A and B are shown apart, each in its own frame.
Chain A
Amino acid sequence: MQPSKQLKPAAHGFRAAARRDPAWVRWLLTSLAVAVVGVLIVIPVTHVFYQALKPGWATYWNNLTADADTRHAIMLTLIVAPSAVVANVLFGVVAAWAIARFRFPGRTLLVSLIDLPFAVSPVVAGLMLLLIFGMQGVLGPWLREHNIQIVFALPGLILATMFVTMPFVVRELLPVMEAIGDEEEVAAVSLGANAWQMFWRVTLPNIKWGLLYGVILCNARAMGEFGAVYVVSGRIERQTYTMPLRVEKLFQDYDNPASFAVASVLTFLALVTLLVKVVLERKTQGELAEVAALRQPGEQV
């Protein structure tokens, strides 16, 4: 596919010249790109930490830990996000297995359906849950009769987060599973492994980095989800405020330092996510390259 990569030494000079822009163009475009990323991304991130820490470390720590409402919001996010991630990991692994390993009618439709939450506005997602589980919702009267609270309570927050973050794990697993292929799994089954053994000894070790990558992305979005959670939360103090909602509440109350303090924790998590993402990307690519090298040359995936 890429014969041009193996350059003959004699041709190298002219080949490079054909693709090289003049120095001033390179300088200009690089500075512009750095400026764009600087203004749009680097300055805002720096600003979050600057605003959060401006009143000093002691106040910063106080803003995060002294306020019972903020403490509750942090705890709630630490419950909601992992719950949604666990549900979507389960779904992601099972769905990726069905889609990557079998051919069946409606398969393409299924893949598009899984992408749907990316396209739907989070606010609409939250509203749809209200229309099922809310007082006016389809199941509302029945739920009230049985004293089950879903919206304006923890289950609603988890459901809304699950909806919004549903595609992340499947989306990461599908290309990995397709690229790895099913030879090893077929071999395992042929040699007498049962489904459970095959999954734990063959499939999972093969997809582990891709899976972890999906978990990281899913978790980042789950912790940061605002629109869908906002709608189903009903905003009850010390009950349904997650961290992003708390950021907004503090902002509305003109408590900027506290708002930025909570925001800085979320920003720190985002930066950690990026770091882990870089490491994992390198790992998955390394493994896919290994698989490709083991295959016969010319064999297509």
Chain B
Amino acid sequence: MSRRILPGFKFSLGFTITYLALLLLLPMAACLYKASALSSSQFLGAVWTPRTQAAYRFTLEVSLWSASASVLLGLLVAWVLVRYEFPLKRVFDSLIDLPFALPTAVAGLVYSSLYVKQGWLGQYLVPIGIEGAYSKFAVVLVLTFLGLPFVVRAIQPVLETIDADTEEAAFLLGASRLQTFFRVIFPAILPATVTGFALSFARSLGEYGSVVFVSGNMPFKTEIAPVLIVSRLEEFAYAEATAIAVVLLGLSLAMLLVINQLERWSTSRAT
């Protein structure tokens, strides 16, 4: 396809690069430029205080929990979707994508009201000690909702293309279903599963809209890093906000690299 018979190469590439430079690279450069105005001790003073440390720890912790939960539940849902037949399966399948389409503020709003003491689910859960609103569990819950489709949509296509032959060979050789799953099927879907984990983890790290509703935003306890940026901005402490943003930006770029590598690994395994 490298034939240059087709028109518009210079125009389309030039336009693409200009658009990306203006909308993406310029803002990032401004962010780094503003952060570089800080001395290293000012920078450290902004990004490494007890409150920010607590926020990083909380963000990482809830992201890890929610990505793990998404993987477990996503595996289950993908397996059932690919292997079994049941009524209304098509509706079920398309509902999985809802978290992609639903505004995060709506997700936050409804999750916060479902799990409070008077809520639909909270009235049964709160008496037995499960606090699904304004707690760490609440944040994990809403992030799992957001992460689930990433995992399902990563695993589903791979599971669909697994050859029946290997499974039959395992069956003929006397393996049980459980052995077949762990020795034959799981290794085949492992790259896709890890990719799904990374995608939902990356999404959770930066999530803001839904978490502000459900977490209660208590400093040192349930405050996530993006909330910290916003509260710094509200104090007009632009420099500190920028410093924390640079840390988050670095983390996002690292995740993007990891995800790219993982996707390459998945496709090289699949073919």
**Chain A residues within 8 Å of B, Cβ to Cβ:** 2, 4, 14-15, 17-19, 21-22, 25-26, 29-30, 32-34, 36-37, 39-45, 47-48, 51, 91, 94-95, 97-104, 110, 112-125, 127-132, 134, 136-138, 159, 162-163, 166, 181-182, 185-186, 189-190, 194-195, 198, 217, 220, 223-227, 230-231, 243-245, 247-248, 251, 256, 259-260, 263, 266-267, 269-271, 273-275, 277-278
Interface of B is mostly: helix
Question: A116 touching B19 by the CB < 8 A rule?
Answer: no
Q: What are 5 A-to-B residue pairs whose CB atoms are below 8 Å? A: A43-B120, A123-B229, A124-B252, A185-B6, A248-B213
B105 contacts chain A at the CB level, 8 A cutoff: yes
Please, how many angstroms separate the alpha-carbon atoms of A19 and B163 in the complex? 11
Indicate if B44 sits at the interface (CB-CB under 8 A): no
CA distance A123 to B241 in the complex (A): 10
B195 CB–A CB distance under 8 Å: no
Which of B2, B206, B209 contacts A120 (CB under 8 A)? B206
| A interface majority secondary structure | helix
Q: Given A128-B27, A256-B113, is A33 in contact with B80 using a C-beta cutoff of 8 Å?
A: yes
- Interface positions, chain B 142-200, Cβ under 8 Å from A, are 144-145, 148, 163-165, 167-168, 170-172, 177
Given contacts A113-B24, A127-B31, A230-B230, contact A33 B77 (CB under 8 A): yes
The answer to whether B80 and A47 touch across the interface, beta carbons within 8 angstroms, is no
Q: How far is the CB of B57 from chain A (nearest CB, A)?
A: 17
Measured in the bound complex, the distance between the Cα atoms of B13 and A94 in whole Å is 8
Chain B residues whose C-beta falls within 8 Å of the C-beta of A125 in the assembled complex: 27
Q: Hey, which chain A residues are within 8 Å of B253, CB to CB?
A: 116, 119
- Chain B positions within 8 Å of A130 at CB level: 233, 238
CA distance A98 to B252 in the complex (A): 26
Cα A29 to Cα B2 in complex, Å, equals: 49
Q: Contacts A123-B208, A127-B233, A127-B242 hold; do A98 and B109 have CB atoms under 8 A apart?
A: no
A224 touches B102 (CB 8 A): yes
Which 5 A-B pairs have CB atoms at the shortest separation, nearest pair first? A224-B103, A121-B206, A226-B209, A128-B27, A18-B171
Asked whether A127 lies within 8 Å of B33 as measured between CB atoms, the reply is: no
| Other-chain residue from B6, B79, B177 in contact with A182 (beta carbon distance below 8 A) | B6
Contact across chains for B76 and A36 when beta carbons are under 8 A apart: yes
Q: Does B134 contact A (CB under 8 A)?
A: no
Q: Is the CB of B27 within 8 A of A129?
A: yes
List the A side residues contacting B80 at CB < 8 Å: 29-30, 32-33
Q: If the complex has contacts A22-B177, A91-B19, A162-B23, are A244 and B209 also in contact, measured as CB distance less than 8 A?
A: yes
